[in-house]
Structure 1
Amino acid sequence: MKASDVRAKTVDQLREELESLKKEQFNLRFQRATGQLENTARVRQVRRDIARIQTIMREMRVSDNA
């Protein structure tokens, strides 16, 4: 997911995407703990996507207040 793709979405879409990624992150952690995780790179990718969305949502909040 690119930052430009995230910026093109509305706040509601970002919240939905964030919720979806957090669920996926939980499932990936669970798979890793039980030894069933095949794509280990996905853990890092999801973590970074979550951070990217949170950062852009914060930027949106700050720019609305300024």
Structure 2
Amino acid sequence: MNKMKAEKVREMKAEDILDDINTLEKELMHLRMENRIGTAENPLEIRHKRRTIARMKTILGELERKQGE
């Protein structure tokens, strides 16, 4: 999954966001491992995944705060 825009994430359900976060975290772990052993094809992808995860977690927090009101 490439860089995901905030608008697309806001259209998703909370469960789908959580599933995507878990998937991205697993992919990030593998990318970091590849980067350490020197076989990563695109080290910049680590930054993109990390920022996408942060974006999704931020939006998930916004959704939880909205539901709490």
TM-score interval w.r.t. the shorter chain? Answer: over 0.9
Deviation at 1:44, TM superposition (A): 0.5
Structure 1 stretches of 4+ with a deviation exceeding 3 A read none
Counterpart of 1:59 (choices 52, 57, 62) is 62
Shift of 1:38: 1.4
| Mapping 1:36-55, distance limit 5 Å | 36-55=39-58
Match of 1:31 in 2: 34
Tell me the percent identity.
33
Q: CA deviation at 1:40?
A: 1.2
**Is there any run of 5+ residues in structure 2 with no aligned partner, and where?**
none
Q: Distance in 1 between matches of 2:35 and 2:45?
A: 11
User: Number of aligned pairs?
Assistant: 66
- CA-based RMSD: 0.6
Query: Under a length normalisation based on structure 1, what TM-score does the superposition of the two structures give?
Result: 0.96
TM-score, normalization by structure 2: 0.92
